[in-house]
Structure 1
Amino acid sequence: MRAIGSLLTLLGLLLLLPAMRCQAQTANFATWENDTWFKTDRYYTNAVQFSARSREDTRGEEVRRWTNGACRLLGCSDARFLFTQHSIGQLMYTPADITLRTHQPFDRPWAGLLYAERQWLFLAPDEASLTTLTAQAGVTGRLSLAEPAQKMFHHLFDRPTPQGWDHQVGNTLALLVSAERRAAWPMLSGALAGDLRLHTAGHWRLAAGNLMSYAALGLSVTIGKHLPLVAPAPPGIVNRVGPLDTACRLHWVQCTLVLGAEGRFMAYNLFLQGRPWRDDPGVAPHRWVGELSAGLRLDFPGTRSRAHGPWFAQLRAIRRSAEFRGQAEDRPHIVSSLTLGVDF
């Protein structure tokens, strides 16, 4: 099955974690997203990403000039560098019926992306706001290798062969830059019971590029113990609970729950509209898109060793509204996300 194949890829990436560890690193993790778990096997159908975070500030002169200039505009000039995140990944989109060889003009186009991404995070002096700057570069079309990846997994696990990749969005160099600000909302935060707390944060994000261009607003509610005022978006949930001080009431696992909502105004989406001025398949997008999410992070303090900190797992469910005209409104699209990683 596509889901099992993706999980094997994820586990393969996890084998690289010990080898890529360095003294300044804070975490390595791999994320697998798929919609099969909720029996909505269509549209945004699969993604695998491997990430490494490092406290070491390795920005070169040009990157430092760009991030400093962005922070002057965004009001984070006095913020301290928190960490850099390096990621590589692949994602794919398909129509609802992958067994049709012919073009499906009223369904989501076939599309794939193979990309590398770098993020720089800056924490305000009062630790109540967090700014994230992101630069992503990748390739779409046959260069993304989405077609052979999906066909290989379907062949290995005796699933129907995807037939429509001849109608995918074509090859292009895809670029995306974005800025996000997360800020704590103290008025909607406080103690629940004992050391268990609820923290609320709001965020905005602006993204521009020939991959996507959009503006987003959202909020998140985090429930756990000893939480920071504001934390990165999952899987960046931070839970510094000791082995005997856990929201799960079990000595061998620590828990943090995150609920979120986000709304976006989509100015452009290559995965739906295709490349400008090219003969790509495409559908008419909805400009306003929303999603609800729920995530649970589990930390396992007993897995700590001299070489690394505890391992963690994070599960998320994401329900998205219809992204294009003609998408079945009565069939909600829900994507599951599994992240496995280790802290240092």
Structure 2
Amino acid sequence: MIHAKSARDLAMALVLLVCFSQVAAFDTIQQTDNRYRFVLTNDNDSLALLSTDRLYTNGIRLTMTHNSANQAPIWLQTLGQWLPWFPSHQPTRHAYTIGQSMFTPEDMSQSEFLPDDRLYAGWLYVTTDLSSINDNKFDIFSLTLGIVGPDSQAEASQKGIHQLIGAEDPKGWNNQLDNAVGFNLAYQRSWRVFKVQRNHHSLFDLTPYVSGALGSIYRYAGTGINLRFGPNLMDEYGLPKFQFGLPITNLLALSRSKHFNWYGFSGIEVRYVEHNYFLKGNSALTRQSQIQPNPWIGQFQVGVVFDWSRFSLTLNQMLQTKEYTTQTQAHNIGTLSFSIKY
């Protein structure tokens, strides 16, 4: 991690860089009449079936996905070419995301430092994705840059929302991770290994995958499998992907269906986590912390997608096993995602 008073300036520079790339790409889209999608996503434990206000408690992000092949910025295409396992000479697509995530201890009523509970943490970031689909194989690479700490403005966001809805005021934000700039590289490869069709319509499919991340925020390796079912499945790999604060934006197919469509989905993942900065950051408080991260993490998700010609709505429930040994129970969080297609 990079610790400096100029962390806020660096984070803002990164945001401006991504915004500039989006403007240039948007201009190309307008000239070539290509389509794209804006996706607004909110992860929040108030949307969970087992509603709690703790741990990964909220995440909000806006994604701009381009459906124009090979229109990614040159630097991003070059980065993908450097990866020996990323498919070469295949059409690529890309997306940009800007988001904020916040983490709190299980007990937010205490103002003092809790050595056996996680620290408060905020994460303000930008992500860019590069993806490629080749037959039944889907590869996606993401680069995330952001800032952890007070400059992420997570404290102001949570307190403002709680005041607005009349919820309990979180007391311990003075015990949050220090300002630090972080980065992460993440990769996922998926294979569609099985599907059931009737009258040329896909009704069911199975997609296993492997994934991994390197960087100062997360380092992990994982594997999982997703299934989808519905009356007419679109040929996409857009199943929501949870990282609890680190997004991989699985790019959605931007087909304009003339009729309403829907599908249900479910997935399970097992992950070995070597490093989670939000649990073991390098501030003075984390050196006093007594929590021990669990290296093996399991996740289960279930949800439904409703799709119209111009809009889509996704509802998702995620259950994750305990991230650290003194965590009292597994964590449940819900997601609401709304997208507009052009």
TM over 0.5: yes
Match of 1:79 among 83, 90, 103: 90
User: TM-score, normalized by length of structure 1?
Assistant: 0.80
Shift in alpha-carbon separation, 1:118–1:241, aligned structure 2, 3 A:
closer
For 2:34 and 2:253, locate their aligned partners in 1 and report how far apart those are by CA, in whole Å: 18
Residue 215 of structure 2 aligns with which residue? 209
Identity %: 21
- In structure 2, the residue matched to 1:334 is 332
**Is this contact kept in 1: 2:125–2:146, CA < 8 A?**
yes
1:313 corresponds to 2:320: no
Aligned residue among 299, 316, 321 for 2:307: 299
Q: Tell me, yes or no, if structure 1 residue 62 matches structure 2 residue 46.
A: no
Pick aligned residue for 1:199 from 205, 211, 216: 205
SS in 2 for 1:166: coil
The counterpart of 1:40, out of the listed 40, 45, 52, is 52
Q: 1:171-191 CA deviation, whole Å, 9 max, x = no partner?
A: 1001001111011113xx213
Deviation (angstroms), 1:55: 2.9
How far apart are the structure 2 equivalents of 1:216 and 1:191? Answer: 29
1:107 and 2:105 aligned: no
| Corresponding residue SS for 1:74 | coil
Contact kept? 1:29, 1:339, Cα under 8 Å: yes
Between the aligned partners of 1:220 and 1:160, the Cα distance in structure 2 is 37
Could you give the per-residue CA deviations for residues 143-169 of structure 1, whole angstroms, max 9, x where no partner exists? 110011111112223222211011111
Q: Which runs of 4+ in 1 moved over 4 A?
A: 235-244
2-structure distance, mates of 1:272, 1:200: 33
Over residues 100-120 of structure 1, what are the superposed CA-to-partner deviations in whole Å (9 max), with x where a residue is unaligned? Answer: 100111112111100000001
Aligned to 2:278: 271
| Mapping for residues 219-298 of structure 1, pairs under 5 Å | 219-227=225-233, 231-234=237-240, 236=251, 238=253, 242-243=257-258, 253-275=260-282, 278-281=283-286, 282=289, 283-298=291-306
Question: What is the one-letter code of the residue matched to 1:62?
Answer: W
Q: Looking at both structures, which has the greater relative contact order when contacts are Cα pairs under 8 Å and sequence separation is at least 6?
A: 2
Confirm whether residue 53 of structure 1 aligns to residue 51 of structure 2. Answer: no
Q: 1:67 to 1:239 in 2, by over 3 A?
A: closer
Relative distance call for 1:280 and 1:174 in structure 2 (3 A) is: farther
Gaps of 5+ in 1: 1-19, 245-252, 302-309
AA aligned to 2:91 is: R
- Does residue 117 of structure 1 match 2:127? yes
Query: Relative to structure 2, which stretch is displaced further, 256-265 or 50-59?
Result: 50-59
Asked if structure 2 preserves the Cα contact closer than 8 Å seen for 1:314 and 1:338, the reply is yes
Taking only aligned residues, the RMSD between alpha carbons, in angstroms, comes to: 2.2
What is the TM-score when the length of structure 2 is the normalising length? Answer: 0.81
Q: Secondary structure at the match of 2:278?
A: helix
Q: Which runs of 5+ in 2 are unaligned?
A: 1-25, 241-249
